[in-house]
Chains A and B, each alone.
Chain A
């Protein structure tokens, strides 16, 4: 079965460290998204991609970057982790058509000390 997987599922790091969260989908979806979820804010869009070599900033992109070298993967990098980036991160993908539902990974819980 097609799926979307994230790794690591849990990570603890220190302020200033570089962190990369991996996201891999086998749906062959063009669209991929990274969200963070915090109490009181719901899901907020960090970065998104509509296809290979395409990346775009979302609502809360400061301090994050992504790259899209193939259809399957959209890694999220925190260049210099900050305590404000402690959150649960969800990767998601959808078909290119606007009515394609969003499929979520299981989430990655990141703690920055």
Chain B
């Protein structure tokens, strides 16, 4: 299978920076998505990486290293509303394979 691995829980302080890591199997890999999911809601799109490097979008950035099978999501200037689960998903063929999600708690 295409195992996607990420930490299940993280805690950070309001205003700080947090990095959520994701590792994946490289065989058949086509690209990587990050989704945000608030409790009781549907996942929503955050970012997409297909080439190596950093993609920046406001307070959120996502990095990909295809050779290492590694990605991270960087959240800057954390706000209380950033408390959510962050899902790493690899594209294999036309299918999305999701990691277990990282539940981020932002504390005041």
Contacts and interface: CB of A to CB of B under 8 A. Distances in A.
Interface of A: 31, 33, 35, 40-45, 48, 50, 58-59, 90, 92, 94, 96, 98-99, 101-107
Contact of B91 (A59, A99, A105): A99
Contact of B42 (A45, A50, A101, A104): A104
A79 B54 CA distance: 46
B33 A102 contact: yes
B30 A98 contact: yes
A39 B44 CA distance: 18
Nearest to B88: A42
Nearest to B92: A98
B33 A101 contact: yes
B9 to A, nearest CB: 11
A5 to B, nearest CB: 11
A87 to B, nearest CB: 14
Q: For chain B, which range describes its interface: under 10, 10 to 19, 20 to 34, or 35 or more residues?
A: 20 to 34
A40 B99 CA distance: 10
A42 B95 CA distance: 15
Nearest to A92: B96
B87 A43 contact: yes
A31 B35 CA distance: 18
Given A104-B42, A106-B41, A98 B87 contact: no
A68 to B, nearest CB: 15
Nearest to B47: A101
Given A40-B100, A42-B98, A101 B91 contact: no
A98 B31 contact: yes
A102 B96 contact: yes
Given A102-B33, A104-B43, A50 B98 contact: no
B94 A45 contact: no
B94 A96 contact: yes
